[in-house]
């Protein structure tokens, strides 16, 4: 059954409160248990392992080339699993509790977590293969041909790359319809965003499967499908557009790096955490919404757009800002300590928690 | 006594727990009671009135040309005064309580709030004159000459403009050293940012006075001094840089407006509410900080910078995105209801509340 049709029927079943089981096993269903092979267990990989394992019917196979891999998994995975949100509990309320290393032993002995010494054995029974390996075109292309040779033909292929499009990674694959990008945001254990970026040859059903998988009830993720491959996808394009102007303003001595951060934290950060940029201007435009806003502020906007700093980060021209920005940022923040990161992450989690809060006494979140 | 010297001494007194009064009255001191004349009582003016009145020793004189001015003040000011944060209370916990209109009557009868029918009488005894009038060069220039003619010669002149630099507004003034921009961010009753933007002729003491006034203990504001006049100051330059790329991505069908907002809310918004952009990349760069980040991501950044959308908002070229963006934003959000705004503002306040929270068990906020 095509997934789209399945989705329509399932929605009808849900809305009429009947049970899902009448369909029996639907292999493509995100509601079935999955067997996920993770290739590359850096921060993103470990964070994904914790996520997949949090769904009790899943089995997770892991492979990484690091020599201390098994020991590393035993030590690191419990930290990320303990960080998964559970309603109404504050992980900082029992700061002294240490994650149990026996958690991994118990996952392994129950067969839910399987630690492999070859990529081939990790992928042999997968319904999903997800890679977080090096950002290197040759490595990605070769690895996907190796994976394709051993994984079941129905398995979905996901890459967590931030920069190498699926259409490039899939160059040497037989069936190019299987691969798509699932790009998380740092820190991946906290940030809800996943950018799902198919290549032109990726099948629509496989895109929808990934989107639904990360949208299941209880998921802390917010997957968004990007319609076209473009360098930086959407999140980093927006971030780097702002960063370019920020570096230009520091270069021009309009503001120093730390004051610019204060400005962002005291205005745009909270605004965009509470609403998107378009929603904010729809509100800011009064009764006419964003249309009024563009009419009213159009002159100022055009002046600012015409005057944007066209600095560069590579090459020899207009790169003189780098030294100043790096010096000011190092002076303002120095080397980051583990404790500072913990504090920042706790704050970030609280901000995202606010986003999940229901402020509407009369119905669902608006 | 120069304010800078005063500040140094005062800091020493504070740190040695002695009393401030030994200095007697220092006219330039932000710690003295102020008499603030507010010209123009729209949203920003009312919000500023509430702020100034929250300091019990201040007297606030208000003037606006609207015909129902007195009635409007009685109705509107209590709403903004009730919104001023008081520690450990949640204003939504008693949602049915209505702000008392007798509050204004009591402020008036005690002499702390004075409602004027002429600009001249409002400014006659001011230590600070702050204008939130129309964004019109002629109006601003004429109004400042009228104000200068009647206000005491020591009074500070502040303009809440978002677009007309102090150097332009002061063109017809006798003493150009008195005027500077104090630019708040929407919604002004919630957003902590104030961009303080002096003209080249504004005196350093007057800049420092404004910065200190909004930094006094208990202030919910975070003033930042911008070193050079530039269109859009810093906040709107950063916002419009991101907005330009956002509109370009919608125009190119990479993502629709609502999904772009989801991306921002699920990643960059919370990141920049928790940390500034430079601090984030200092953390994201690992041990080498932002320097490592720029080395590692430089290639991707340059590709994105080279490919940024150079769309326009005015003129005939590259403005075709407007129709699409407006249609998508209207479809996604429709007309904004008062209830939606309340919900959004409550969320925004909570996000800013998170920023004020102390996450550090061992010392002050880091």
- B278, B311, B320: which to substitute to probe chain A, counting the most A Cβ within 10 Å? B278
Taking an 8 Å cut-off on Cβ atoms, the answer to whether B193 and A266 are in contact is yes
Are B183 and B259 part of one and the same domain?
no
Are A245 and A324 part of one and the same domain?
yes
Minimal CA separation from A189 to chain B, in Å: 12
Question: What is the secondary structure of A125-183 as a DSSP string?
Answer: T-SEEEE---S-HHHHHHHHHHHHHHS-TT-EEEE--SSS-HHHHGGG-S-GGGEEEEE
Taking an 8 Å cut-off on Cβ atoms, the answer to whether A347 and B360 are in contact is no
Taking a C-beta distance cutoff of 8 angstroms, is the pair B205, B180 a contact? no
Taking a C-beta distance cutoff of 8 angstroms, is the pair B307, A278 a contact? no
Tell me whether residue A3 is in a domain. Answer: no
Minimal CA separation from A23 to chain B, in Å: 32
Partners of residue B299 in chain A, C-beta under 8 Å: 314
- Tell me which DSSP letter residue A114 carries: E
Nearest CB to A305 within list B240, B298, B303: B240
Query: What number is the ipTM of this complex?
Result: 0.88
CATH number, position B211: 3.40.50.720
Residue A249: per-residue pLDDT: 98
Are A302 and A166 part of one and the same domain?
no
Calpha distance B53→B49 (Å, rounded): 6
Q: Strands of chain A (E only): list them.
A: 35-39, 59-63, 113-115, 128-131, 156-159, 179-184, 193-198, 222-225
Taking a C-beta distance cutoff of 8 angstroms, is the pair B29, B59 a contact? no
Taking an 8 Å cut-off on Cβ atoms, the answer to whether A273 and B276 are in contact is no
CATH number, position A284: 1.10.1040.10
Helix (H, G, I), strand (E, B) or coil at B82: helix
Are B196 and B301 part of one and the same domain?
no
Minimal CA separation from B271 to chain A, in Å: 7
Which of the listed residues B176, B202, B225 is the one where a domain comes to its end?
B225
Are A116 and A250 part of one and the same domain?
no
* End-to-end Cα spacing for chain A: 34
Partners of residue B325 in chain A, C-beta under 8 Å: 278, 290
Domain limits at A286? 236-334
Taking a C-beta distance cutoff of 8 angstroms, is the pair B44, B97 a contact? no
Distances (CA, A) of B282 to A186, A339, A341, B357, B365: 13, 15, 11, 22, 18
Partners of residue B200 in chain A, C-beta under 8 Å: none
Taking an 8 Å cut-off on Cβ atoms, the answer to whether A243 and B281 are in contact is yes
Tell me whether residue B74 is in a domain. Answer: yes
Tell me whether residue A7 is in a domain. Answer: no
Partners of residue A282 in chain B, C-beta under 8 Å: 329-330, 333, 336
Walk along chain A (366 residues) and give the pLDDT tens digit of each residue. Answer: 344 433 333 333 343 333 333 333 334 678 889 999 999 999 999 999 999 999 999 999 999 999 999 999 999 999 888 765 443 334 444 444 455 658 999 999 999 999 999 999 999 999 999 999 999 999 999 999 999 999 999 999 999 999 999 999 999 999 999 999 999 998 888 999 999 999 999 999 999 999 999 998 878 899 999 999 999 999 999 999 999 999 999 999 999 999 999 999 999 999 999 999 999 999 888 889 999 999 999 999 999 999 999 999 999 999 999 999 999 999 999 988 889 888 999 999 999 999 999 887 654 444
Minimal CA separation from A25 to chain B, in Å: 32
Partners of residue A246 in chain B, C-beta under 8 Å: 238, 277-278
Taking an 8 Å cut-off on Cβ atoms, the answer to whether A335 and B241 are in contact is no
Helix (H, G, I), strand (E, B) or coil at B63: strand
Taking a C-beta distance cutoff of 8 angstroms, is the pair A169, A141 a contact? yes
Partners of residue B332 in chain A, C-beta under 8 Å: 278-279
Calpha distance B13→B282 (Å, rounded): 36
Minimal CA separation from A273 to chain B, in Å: 4
Are A69 and A218 part of one and the same domain?
yes
Which is more confidently placed, B163 or B84? B163
Mean pLDDT in residue range B115-135: 97
Question: What is the secondary structure of B258-304 as a DSSP string?
Answer: HHHHHHHHTTHHHHHHHS-HHHHHHHHTGGGHHHHHHHHHHHHHHHH
Residue B31: per-residue pLDDT: 80
Taking an 8 Å cut-off on Cβ atoms, the answer to whether B354 and A355 are in contact is no
Report how many Cβ contacts below 8 Å link chain A to chain B.
Answer: 379
Span B276-308, pLDDT tens digits = 999 999 988 888 999 999 999 999 999 999 999
Calpha distance A58→A49 (Å, rounded): 10
Calpha distance A44→A159 (Å, rounded): 11
Minimal CA separation from B155 to chain A, in Å: 27
Partners of residue A192 in chain B, C-beta under 8 Å: 266-267
Are A156 and A86 part of one and the same domain?
yes
Which is more confidently placed, A32 or B143? B143
Taking an 8 Å cut-off on Cβ atoms, the answer to whether A314 and B333 are in contact is no
Partners of residue B301 in chain A, C-beta under 8 Å: 240, 243, 313-314
Taking an 8 Å cut-off on Cβ atoms, the answer to whether B348 and A186 are in contact is no
pLDDT above 50: residue B88: no
Count of beta carbons in the 10 Å neighbourhood of residue B117? 12
Nearest CB to A237 within list B226, B245, B290: B245
Taking an 8 Å cut-off on Cβ atoms, the answer to whether B238 and A234 are in contact is no
Residue A287: per-residue pLDDT: 84
Residue of B nearest to A326 (CA): B291
Tell me whether residue A42 is in a domain. Answer: yes
List the structure tokens of A119.
Answer: 């990529």
Are B205 and B128 part of one and the same domain?
yes
Tell me whether residue A349 is in a domain. Answer: no
Taking an 8 Å cut-off on Cβ atoms, the answer to whether A294 and B333 are in contact is no
Minimal CA separation from B131 to chain A, in Å: 20
Nearest CB to A261 within list B186, B278, B329: B278
Are A165 and A193 part of one and the same domain?
yes
φ, ψ of residue B242 in degrees (nearest 5): -65, -45
Nearest CB to A300 within list B232, B264, B277: B232
Which of the listed residues A198, A225, A252 is the one where a domain comes to its end?
A225
Nearest CB to B346 within list A227, A332, A359: A359
The total number of structural domains that make up chain A: 2
Residue of B nearest to A220 (CA): B266
pLDDT above 90: residue B196: yes
Residue of B nearest to A339 (CA): B360
Nearest CB to B185 within list A232, A267, A301: A267
Minimal CA separation from B18 to chain A, in Å: 31
* End-to-end Cα spacing for chain B: 34
Taking an 8 Å cut-off on Cβ atoms, the answer to whether B305 and A322 are in contact is no
Minimal CA separation from A309 to chain B, in Å: 10
- B17 contact partners, CB below 8 Å, separation of at least 6: none
Span A60-114, pLDDT tens digits = 999 999 999 999 999 999 988 876 544 333 444 444 445 565 899 999 999 999 9
Span B241-272, pLDDT tens digits = 999 999 999 999 999 999 999 999 999 999 99
Distances (CA, A) of A124 to A30, A32, A42, A149: 20, 18, 22, 9
List the structure tokens of B185.
Answer: 């961010």
pLDDT above 50: residue B40: yes
Taking an 8 Å cut-off on Cβ atoms, the answer to whether A266 and B191 are in contact is yes
- A313 contact partners, CB below 8 Å, separation of at least 6: A319, A322, B294, B298, B301, B302, B305
Partners of residue A241 in chain B, C-beta under 8 Å: 241-242, 244-245, 304, 308
Which of the listed residues A194, A225, A256 is the one where a domain comes to its end?
A225
Calpha distance A31→A11 (Å, rounded): 13
Taking an 8 Å cut-off on Cβ atoms, the answer to whether A351 and B225 are in contact is no
Residue B137: per-residue pLDDT: 97
List the structure tokens of B193.
Answer: 């940012």
Taking an 8 Å cut-off on Cβ atoms, the answer to whether B290 and A253 are in contact is no
Span B336-347, pLDDT tens digits = 888 888 899 999
Are B49 and B191 part of one and the same domain?
yes
Partners of residue B320 in chain A, C-beta under 8 Å: none
Calpha distance B132→B114 (Å, rounded): 17
Residue A10: per-residue pLDDT: 38
Taking a C-beta distance cutoff of 8 angstroms, is the pair A50, A221 a contact? no
Nearest CB to B261 within list A226, A253, A276: A276
Tell me whether residue B26 is in a domain. Answer: no
pLDDT, averaged across chain B: 88
Partners of residue B326 in chain A, C-beta under 8 Å: 289-291, 294
Minimal CA separation from A150 to chain B, in Å: 32
Are A52 and A189 part of one and the same domain?
yes
Are A197 and A329 part of one and the same domain?
no
- A162, A264, A345: which to substitute to probe chain B, counting the most B Cβ within 10 Å? A264
Calpha distance A33→A16 (Å, rounded): 24
């Amino acid at each position: 059954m095509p997934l789209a049709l399945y989705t329509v029927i399932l929605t009808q079943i849900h809305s009429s409160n009947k049970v899902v089981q009448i369909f029996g096993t639907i292999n493509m269903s995100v509601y079935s248990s999955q067997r996920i092979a993770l290739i590359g267990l850096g921060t993103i990989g470990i964070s994904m392992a914790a996520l997949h394992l949090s769904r009790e019917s899943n089995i997770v196979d892991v492979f990484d080339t690091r020599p201390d891999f098994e020991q590393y998994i035993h030590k690191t995975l419990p930290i990320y699993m303990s960080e998964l949100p559970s309603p109404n509990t504050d992980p900082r309320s029992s700061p002294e509790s240490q994650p149990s290393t026996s958690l991994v032993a118990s996952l392994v002995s129950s067969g839910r977590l399987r630690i492999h010494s070859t990529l081939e054995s990790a992928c042999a029974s997968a319904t999903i293969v997800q890679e977080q390996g090096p950002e290197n075109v040759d490595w990605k292309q070769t690895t996907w041909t190796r994976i394709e040779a051993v994984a079941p033909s129905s398995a979905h292929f996901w890459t967590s790359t931030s920069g190498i499009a699926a259409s490039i990674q899939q160059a040497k694959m037989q069936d190019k319809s299987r691969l798509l990008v699932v790009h998380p945001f740092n820190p991946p254990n906290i940030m809800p965003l996943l950018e799902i970026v198919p290549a032109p040859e990726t099948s629509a059903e496989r895109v929808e499967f990934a989107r639904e998988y990360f949208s299941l009830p209880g998921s802390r993720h917010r997957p968004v499908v990007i319609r076209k491959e473009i360098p930086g996808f959407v999140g980093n394009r927006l971030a780097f557009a702002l960063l370019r102007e920020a570096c230009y303003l520091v270069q021009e001595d309009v503001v120093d790096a730390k004051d610019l951060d204060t400005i962002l934290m005291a205005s745009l950060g909270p605004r965009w955490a509470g609403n998107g940029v378009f929603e904010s201007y729809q509100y800011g435009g009064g009764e006419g919404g964003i249309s009024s806003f563009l009419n009213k502020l159009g002159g100022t906007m055009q002046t600012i757009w015409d005057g944007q700093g066209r600095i560069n980060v590579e090459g020899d021209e207009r790169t003189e800002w780098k030294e100043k920005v790096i010096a000011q940022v190092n002076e303002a923040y120095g080397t980051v300590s583990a404790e500072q990161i913990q504090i920042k992450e706790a704050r970030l989690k609280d901000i995202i928690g606010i986003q999940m809060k229901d402020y509407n006494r009369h119905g669902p979140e608006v």
